[in-house]
Each structure stands twice: as C-alpha cells, then as structure tokens.
Structure 1
Amino acid sequence: MVTCYMKFAIDPYKLNEFEIYAKRWMSIIKRMGGEHHGFFMPYEGGSNNIAYSLFTFPSLGIYEEYRNKLRTDEESQANLAYARETRCLISYERSFMRPVFE
C-alpha cells in the first residue's frame, strides 16, 4: 500500500475554483482504484495559499497505472485544463509514504 501526500501552492483568491478542482480529483481517483482521504484547505490562522491532499493505492504499481491512465482519461484531462484556465493552482509537491493503520 502506498499513500501519496501532496502539498499545493494555490491562489488564495481562487479557493472556490481550487475546491471544485479538488472535488473532481476525489471521484477520479476513486474510479481508478484509489482511496482518497480528502483535501485540506486553508482556514483561519494559517497560510492562506497552501492546501494538502492524501490518497492511497494498493501498491506503487497500481498508482503508476493510474498515472498512465490519466494521460488519456477525458475527465482527468478536463480537470487539468480547468486548473490551467482558472489559474487556481500555482504549484505542487508530491511525496510517497507507507501508511500505518490500526
């Protein structure tokens, strides 16, 4: 099992647009065999331009298959185009972790 941890730099004036983008990824990842653990958006008292996301795939190989499928998946490509058009996403970092559950 592998969990992808993502840190996003986002436009703080386009939180609504980023949230639309985020919610779309949740259904895409689920459809492609992953489990999404949510996006975590800026809130009072912290950075107003950083968001986080966690999602898990059964293995790194299945995650890599998911990444390959994204290139031709219409919904995924439309969501990436939405982020470019709205400019809600500035950059992101991706790390992989091994989760420990009870």
Structure 2
Amino acid sequence: MITCHVRYEIDPEQIEAFERFARRWIELVNRHGGVHHGYFLPAEGASDIAYALFSFPSLADYERYRELFGVDPDFIAADRIRDESGCVRRYERTFLRPVTEGSSE
C-alpha cells in the first residue's frame, strides 16, 4: 500500500471553494481504486494550512489513477474549482508506506 500525504497552503477566504474541491477529489480517488482518508482543514492555529491523505494498493495503481489527470472530464472539472477560485496557493505531495502492528518488515 502507498499513502499520499498532501500539504496545502490555502486561501482562508476561499474555504468553501476548497471544501467543494476536496469533496470532488474524495469521490474521484474512491471511484478509481483508492481510499480517501479525508481532508483536514484548519480549526485552530495556522489558518492557511490543510492536509489530505489517501491510499492506493500500490504505486502502479496510483500511477494509473494519475493518467486520468488533464484527460478525464471529471478530473478537469475538479481542478477547475481550484483554478477558478484560487483556493489553493501551493501544495506538496509526499508518499508514505505504513508501518502497523502485523505489517512485515
């Protein structure tokens, strides 16, 4: 399993747009073989940082999902929310692998 952690710098004035953007991507990840663990928006402290976590069974599965970016109309529509609203100032992705009780070394 591979988990993607995304750190967003968002426009605090565009929280509603960011939430629309987030709901669309949750649905797309889940529809295309991943499991979205949610978006986490500011509640206290810094008001311009948000996070997302989602997993795919493998990096190859994630790469198949990424092939739809810029091609699939639903992916384009989800990105349009971000682009037209300016809700995301920047983001960075990190790929992680879980270590859990019972996972092998």
TM norm. shorter chain > 0.5 = yes
User: What is the aligned partner in structure 2 of residue 31 from structure 1?
Assistant: 31
Q: CA RMSD of the aligned region, Å?
A: 0.9
Q: Output one character per residue of 1:5-51: Cα deviation in whole Å (capped at 9) or x when no partner.
A: 0000000111111011001100000011000000000012x110000
Deviations 1:48-85 (A, max 9, x none): 00000000000001101100122311111011111111
Query: Which stretches of structure 1, 4 residues or longer, exceed 6 Å deviation after superposition?
Result: none
Equivalent pairs counted in the alignment come to 101
- 1:68 corresponds in structure 2 to 67
The whole-number CA distance in structure 2 between the counterparts of 1:99 and 1:72 is 31
The structure richer in helix per residue is 1
Greater gyration radius: 2
**What fraction of aligned residue pairs are identical, expressed as a percent?**
46
What CA distance in whole angstroms lies between the structure 2 residues aligned with 1:31 and 1:20? 17
5+ residue gaps, structure 1, are: none
Task: Give TM-score, length-normalised by structure 2.
Answer: 0.92
Gap regions ≥5 residues in structure 2: none
